[in-house]
Structure 1
């Protein structure tokens, strides 16, 4: 489908459902989700950033472009060492797309390797888009495929991918990510919970496409999963600016070895402690890490934001505080050790309201 990326950056294997589904505000979607409607059967109304929030985004992009660029380079070097030119990038829409674009550009800039890059949908509880997978496998060997995402929160999509690929035993379920504070993969740029500026916005930093959509009255048996294109946001689009800003900070002369020291605590054990301490019955309500906490504030109805005390004054949490203030969401120091996570968002259980 159409996007605002350059034609050579990515081929997006999604059905264009623009105009077929009315986007819903978070207050309506959250009620429906908690009553049993799957999130993929609705489209969220895109958050319109305030002036102050956009200033926080620009600050995040300026201050964290270099660490993001270094982490992308680490991933790209690992993939090149692993597969050389025999590589096909398959980004998980949406958050994985800008990262896939960056890896593709890094490999071309340094090694003059022109890798193919696709974007496909995977949906928690519904699985991967098999039509998109079959399309890619009709062109490329299974050993070439490398999945890409933005970050790992608590590992739900990683688990979903492993389950989905039972039907594709020759395809690796490894995901390359910029940041893995959950300590669930070595195929990452860093285990630090870094601020990836693309996590701060929605469609306007991911090619003007919506979250992916799957509902049988609109998506047929032979269709790709769907998404809408937000033409009306064209004037606010920052997708290429984000990619170009990070690309300008690439470093090409370092080893692919990890350079950061990370806690041995695994993300799922941190999530379990949060659930116990805060009385959360459904761990899907717990969204650890900067990227996930940001998405809770942008797309869901948050109960509270808990902060790792070591990072309470960290610059990379400024946009979190800004969003929380705008939405009147409480921020407090976490009662449990958050490990590598700097922050965690907790969704409000509406039946308790």
Structure 2
């Protein structure tokens, strides 16, 4: 393995984002002055007519008062629950993996979660693990240059991939496929087990809960993810030896609540140790049961509504929130109108005049469907 890595020339990462490098190092190329953003309607048209979502960026608006209120109220309601999930995931990672461990978050939703896991492992095990955030893109795979950089800088390390939550499991499928290609190309086998806070899709090996609830970082874009855009890959800008790209939105510094989110969850760590231990005991001796129930439930919806492209169906509270905030929504399906996890979904849907239908077959609390154009 070392021979292969020695011959590979990899650049050093340039600093990007508002997180401290003690918390995370982004292995991303800063494309701040190289790409113009497109509005939602334009992007939707391009994506649905065959363009790739990673070859353009959405406009990052300053979050409105409503979205900030939603973020703060959901953070108040869920910071304790999040701290328990973080603790459980961290414990399970430490029980399953060796001590020469590197945490690798999948940008962008995985990044704040990776920081929380790093912080919990420091709090509980007094271990300061390296933590990187790298790009993975549906239809294009994982950033191999970023993986090579990590392996070169941490010889013989065990990598733990981290994301925020699961929906249909699309990223898990991309990760498995990408690691197979990586092994064929470099003869290096990596452990593809994915750790997430919430796994309502039943497709992650390590999870804190399978409850489908709102992780507040799903409400906002870059302003809760270190002011970094979603990741970008277009061959005229991302060259063969580059990391995948992202923009750094310095102009949104005043709106940045990345550390508000981290600090609110971290301060709960010392209050939830008992619950974390109880929950860990329950999960550590049971198999993760990767039944992919979520994907099966979505395939059923695809048939029912005659939707050609399964990527227009976004299951789970986090993904539905994002459809309502960032895409062109057609309708929202909910399992139970009275669920406490759906207050903000119903509010956003009524604000945007999107119809809400009850579907008791759903595995998830809800599901957002993007308008087919």
Shorter-normalised TM-score: what interval? over 0.9
Deviation at 1:329, TM superposition (A): 1.7
Tell me the C-alpha RMSD between the 2 structures. Answer: 1.9
For this pair of structures, how many residues does the alignment match? 346
2:106 maps to what in 1? 92
What secondary structure is seen at the aligned counterpart in 2 of 1:305?
Answer: strand
User: Per the alignment, do residues 171 and 84 of structure 1 end up closer, same or farther by CA in structure 2, a change over 3 Å counting?
Assistant: closer
For 2:93, which of 46, 60, 79 is the aligned residue? Answer: 79
Equivalence map 1:217-228=2 (5 Å)? 217-228=236-247
Deviation at 1:273, TM superposition (A): 1.0
Map Cα deviations across residues 62-103 of structure 1 (whole Å, 9 max, x no partner).
001111110111000001112253210000000000000000
Matched, 1:326 2:351: yes
Cα contact 1:74–1:258 (8 A) shared by 2? no
Range with bigger deviation, 221-230 or 321-330:
321-330
Deviation at 1:10, TM superposition (A): 0.2
Equivalence map 1:197-212=2 (5 Å)? 197-212=216-231
What secondary structure is seen at the aligned counterpart in 2 of 1:269?
Answer: helix
For 1:285, which of 296, 306, 312 is the aligned residue? Answer: 312
For 1:302 and 1:107, locate their aligned partners in 2 and report how far apart those are by CA, in whole Å.
39
For 2:251 and 2:40, locate their aligned partners in 1 and report how far apart those are by CA, in whole Å.
20
Map Cα deviations across residues 100-135 of structure 1 (whole Å, 9 max, x no partner).
000000010111101000000000000000111111
Equivalence map 1:1-353=2 (5 Å)? 1-141=15-155, 144-166=158-180, 167-168=182-183, 170-250=189-269, 251-253=272-274, 254-255=277-278, 256-258=280-282, 266-309=293-336, 312-334=337-359, 337-339=361-363, 341-350=364-373
Query: Runs of at least 4 residues of structure 1 off by over 6 A?
Result: 261-265
Cα contact 2:335–2:366 (8 A) shared by 1? yes
Cα contact 1:110–1:252 (8 A) shared by 2? no
For 2:96 and 2:196, locate their aligned partners in 1 and report how far apart those are by CA, in whole Å.
15
Cα contact 1:56–1:318 (8 A) shared by 2? no
What secondary structure is seen at the aligned counterpart in 1 of 2:330?
Answer: strand
Normalising by structure 1, we get a TM-score of 0.93
Deviation at 1:308, TM superposition (A): 0.9
Map Cα deviations across residues 181-219 of structure 1 (whole Å, 9 max, x no partner).
111234000111122111111100000000000011111
For 2:69 and 2:245, locate their aligned partners in 1 and report how far apart those are by CA, in whole Å.
32
For 1:23 and 1:326, locate their aligned partners in 2 and report how far apart those are by CA, in whole Å.
25
What secondary structure is seen at the aligned counterpart in 2 of 1:102?
Answer: helix
User: Per the alignment, do residues 47 and 325 of structure 1 end up closer, same or farther by CA in structure 2, a change over 3 Å counting?
Assistant: farther
For 2:92 and 2:198, locate their aligned partners in 1 and report how far apart those are by CA, in whole Å.
14
Unaligned runs of 5+ in 1: none
Deviation at 1:33, TM superposition (A): 0.6
Deviation at 1:59, TM superposition (A): 0.9
Unaligned runs of 5+ in 2: 1-14
Normalising by structure 2, we get a TM-score of 0.89
Range with bigger deviation, 215-224 or 42-51:
42-51
Deviation at 1:328, TM superposition (A): 2.3
For 2:19 and 2:157, locate their aligned partners in 1 and report how far apart those are by CA, in whole Å.
27
